[in-house]
């Protein structure tokens, strides 16, 4: 089990108070890491970090605006000043601003989403990689989606009016390519990069929509017959963050109950 230990590691997770962010931050802390929970909402990050600390884990909250390059550079410098190193970066934050179908999309909405989901992720990764290269060690985990592995299956939404936005598909496919580029270019510095892509997340879907055509169709079309829960995402992120996956890089790990297998 020592292979799965993150004792002595510093892990940054962006969007660490979101639906996937919370269980992943908890899992990384449970494995022994000091988890830096970062987002634009400082109070929420500090509150969740305090909860983890009260549970006996190591965590801190920090403000990070991925639309602001100065916020990104200042954030990384502060983490290095406070904790001395960055071992793992989990790029989990996502902006859903202006997510629409192509026929309803305009230039401003597209660019606003890209400012976080593409440019912001790139700038933060670049900043963190500077320290990782100096130390000759590091690990990047990008949180993608099944929409970065297959085309959207629009009939699954039924008559709900829900959709799979064009910019979300664009972002998540691009993330897989970004992952593979980082893995190949930075491997010589002993830096790994993988993409972890969950399928539909049960608690978030149920709370937002209840039982609909979409939830029924999704479960019917998923080989395991259900949505993902917290435990389903916790194990994979610890695996990729730890030495248990030391010889894995450039990989796209789908955690989707078999959705993409057909």
pLDDT tens digits for 173-217?
999 999 999 999 999 999 999 999 999 887 767 667 778 899 999
Cβ–Cβ < 8 Å for 24, 47: no
Cα separation, 29 vs 89, whole angstroms: 14
**What burial letters (b/e) apply to 106-115, b meaning 16+ CB within 10 Å?**
eeebbebbbb
Confidence of residue 240 (pLDDT cuts 50, 70, 90): very high
How confident is the model over 112-120, as a mean pLDDT? 94
Question: What is the DSSP-derived secondary structure letter of residue 105?
Answer: -
Q: How does DSSP assign 31-52, residue by residue?
A: TT-EEEEEES-HHHHHHHHHHH
Cite the active site residues: 168
Cβ–Cβ < 8 Å for 227, 170: no
Residue 33 main-chain phi, psi, to 5 deg: -75, 155
Q: What pLDDT is recorded for position 34? A: 98
37 torsion bin: left (phi>0), alpha (psi -120 to 50), beta (else): beta
User: pTM to 2 decimals?
Assistant: 0.96
> SS3 of 77, please?
helix
Closest by CA position to 29, among listed 44, 13, 46: 13
Q: What pLDDT is recorded for position 97? A: 82
Q: What pLDDT is recorded for position 36? A: 98
The single residue listed with the structure tokens 């978030």 is 204
pLDDT over 80 at 25, yes or no: yes
Domains of the chain, each with CATH number or no CATH: 2-261 (3.40.50.720)
Cβ–Cβ < 8 Å for 153, 218: no
Cα separation, 181 vs 195, whole angstroms: 12
Q: What pLDDT is recorded for position 262? A: 80
pLDDT tens digits for 51-107?
999 999 999 999 999 999 999 999 999 999 999 999 999 999 998 887 899 999 999
């Amino acid at each position: 089990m020592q292979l799965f230990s993150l004792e002595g590691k510093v892990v940054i997770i962006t969007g660490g108070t979101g639906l996937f962010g919370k269980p992943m931050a908890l899992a990384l802390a449970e494995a022994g890491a000091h988890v830096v929970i970062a987002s634009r909402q400082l109070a929420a990050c500090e509150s969740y970090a305090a909860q983890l600390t009260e549970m006996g884990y190591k965590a801190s909250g920090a403000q990070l605006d991925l639309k602001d390059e100065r916020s990104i550079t200042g954030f990384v410098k502060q983490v290095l000043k406070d904790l001395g190193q960055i071992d793992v970066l989990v790029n989990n934050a996502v902006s859903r601003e202006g997510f629409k179908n192509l026929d309803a999309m305009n230039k401003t909405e597209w660019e606003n989403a890209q400012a976080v989901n593409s440019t912001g992720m790139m700038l933060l990764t670049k900043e963190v990689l500077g320290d990782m290269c100096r130390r000759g060690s590091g690990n990047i985990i990008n949180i993608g989606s099944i929409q970065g592995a297959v085309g959207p299956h629009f009939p699954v939404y039924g008559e709900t009016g829900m959709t799979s936005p064009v910019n979300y598909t664009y972002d998540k496919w691009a993330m897989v390519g970004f992952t593979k580029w980082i893995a190949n270019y930075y491997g010589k510095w002993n830096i790994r990069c993988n993409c972890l892509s969950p399928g539909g997340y049960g608690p978030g879907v149920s709370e937002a929509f209840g039982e609909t055509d979409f939830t029924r169709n999704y479960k019917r079309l998923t080989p395991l017959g259900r949505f993902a829960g917290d435990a389903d995402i916790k194990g994979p992120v610890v695996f990729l963050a730890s030495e248990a996956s030391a010889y894995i890089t450039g990989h796209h790990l789908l955690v989707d109950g078999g959705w993409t297998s057909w």
